[in-house]
Amino acid sequence: MANRPLKLGLAGLGTVGAALTRLICARSDDFVARTGRLPEIVAYSARSAGERGLPLGGAHFYPDAREMAAKADIDVFVELIGGASGPAYEAVRAALARGVHVVTANKAMLAAHGLELADMAEKAAVALSFEAAVGGGVPVIKTLREALVGNRIQRVSGILNGTCNFILSKMEAERIPFDVCLKEAQRLGYAEADPTFDIGGFDTAHKLSILAALAFGARIDAEAVSVEGIESITLADLAAADDLGFRIKLLGVAQRTDHGVEQRVHPTMVAKTTPLAQTMGVLNGVTIDGDAVGALTLVGPGAGGDATASAVAADLADIARGVLAPAFGRPVALLAEAERASIQRHEGGYYVRLSVLDRPGSMATIARRMAERTISLESIVQKRASGDANAYVSVVIVTHATTETSIREALALTLEDGVVREKPQVIRIERP
């Protein structure tokens, strides 16, 4: 096998595919020195034929990625198309079915079909590798699957979407509202024309389900992830977080609890002293809590052609060396069926912003409802009263640790009491 070229079939010549093509050309000598094999793109699939100024070296063009996966003389099928199902999924299945290694950056496909594809790879004794699917250039997959094998992982939490992190960072730094920052993210190419998948938290949820499977030796369970996006975050929330010593980040959190594995994605108040709070702009960051290593944080570019191509190249290097490991760290048959922990049983502190009727007794009513649910209040901050009995004032409450059920029930009762004008803003607090 040594010195024989590593023949690649590349599906997708978008930003990442083009970057990978250039990287392979520029780093071929290093790749050979490290692995003993020269990577060579011998086939490619894209929307149209033509090398687009890329060093494809006369690679054979296939109009359909599925045909390339099924017929091309390749060692590795590199899937950079995207999409949970459809051509990408069908092409990956075709490659695995004929015993071809697969490298993919497709988190949506893995979240939906990862176990099936991992089982196919095991039976064919080939690799299903996906370092680029989570964290872009941040090597979090390899870290969880290989570097931390001596640890029992208790918790994984991270900033897994650069679009959301860019928006929240810009809102905080420049005091610009959400909709304006979103338009800027779209102008710069960080957000799609329809940004729902990113800002709604769904992209983060797919990535979190992959990390949870690796961290806990569990079957991937994307439907178990509780998801909230960042659309409701206001400048008032960011200012309050700053006053309290926090920053607001969209976090994906997976952790072991007494009730099972909890998986959740939501805006979170994170202490400014923590590495994740200091991860700004389009960067991604992941903190892994292991019993032997303690807390380990990885930070780096979470998207972009070069960073993602770097992760793809790392997978190709393993395949070139003959390194073959189960996709999710252990054989599919040995992955546990983790019990789902409901978000309603989540325990922690909460930030609550209320629009409260400015009249005597309103705060007493709210405090009573909190006490009825045994919620202890850490602080209450109220803007100066207007003196108008029909006006509303903004009140910020920070609680000590309580349950999701308790805080939601207490707030629902304050709405029924008529002392709160609109749905309260609730943000979970992650303490160091």
Same-domain status, 126 and 156: no
With H, G, I as helix, E, B as strand and everything else as coil, classify residue 66.
helix
User: Residue 362 belongs to a domain with what CATH number?
Assistant: 3.30.70.260
Q: Are 146 and 345 in contact (CB under 8 A)?
A: no
Boundary-marking domain end, from 99, 133, 167: 133
Whether 107 is in a domain gets the answer yes
User: Residue 282 belongs to a domain with what CATH number?
Assistant: 3.30.360.10
Same-domain status, 238 and 260: yes
Same-domain status, 196 and 71: no
Question: Which residue segment(s) compose the domain that 396 sits in?
Answer: 346-430
Amino acid at 8: L
Same-domain status, 99 and 168: no
H or E stretch covering 256: strand 246-257
In degrees, rounded to 5, the angle at the alpha carbon of residue 69 between the alpha carbons of residues 63 and 71 is 85
| CA-based max dimension of the chain | 83
Amino acid at 163: T
Whether 329 is in a domain gets the answer no
Q: Are 136 and 311 in contact (CB under 8 A)?
A: yes
Which residue among 7, 107, 170, 207 is the active-site one?
A: 207
User: Residue 38 belongs to a domain with what CATH number?
Assistant: 3.40.50.720
Same-domain status, 239 and 360: no
Whole-angstrom Cα distance, residue 406 to residue 347? 10
Same-domain status, 192 and 72: no
Number of domains in the chain: 3
Whether 47 is in a domain gets the answer yes
Boundary-marking domain end, from 133, 158, 181: 133
Whole-angstrom Cα distance, residue 143 to residue 201? 24
Whole-angstrom Cα distance, residue 390 to residue 49? 68
Same-domain status, 277 and 159: yes
Whether 373 is in a domain gets the answer yes
Whether 41 is in a domain gets the answer yes
State the Cα torsion 297-299-303-309 to the nearest 10°: -90
Same-domain status, 270 and 350: no
Same-domain status, 154 and 289: yes
Sequential pLDDT tens for the chain (432 residues): 457 999 999 999 999 999 999 999 999 999 999 999 999 999 999 988 876 789 898 899 999 999 999 999 999 999 999 999 999 999 999 999 999 999 999 999 999 999 999 999 999 999 999 999 999 999 999 999 999 999 999 999 999 999 999 999 999 999 999 999 999 999 998 888 999 999 999 999 999 999 999 999 999 999 999 999 999 999 999 999 999 999 999 999 999 998 899 999 999 999 999 999 999 999 999 999 999 999 999 999 998 899 999 999 999 999 999 999 999 999 999 999 989 988 888 899 999 999 998 888 999 999 999 999 999 999 998 876 555 656 888 999 999 999 999 999 999 999 999 999 889 999 999 987
Q: Are 336 and 369 in contact (CB under 8 A)?
A: no
Q: Are 43 and 74 in contact (CB under 8 A)?
A: yes
- Whether pTM > 0.85 for this model: the answer is yes
Same-domain status, 117 and 151: no
Q: Are 397 and 376 in contact (CB under 8 A)?
A: no
Whether 333 is in a domain gets the answer no
Same-domain status, 86 and 153: no
Boundary-marking domain end, from 117, 133, 149: 133
* pLDDT (0 to 100) of residue 422: 85
Say whether 207 is catalytic: yes
Whether 340 is in a domain gets the answer no
Same-domain status, 205 and 123: no
Whether 324 is in a domain gets the answer no
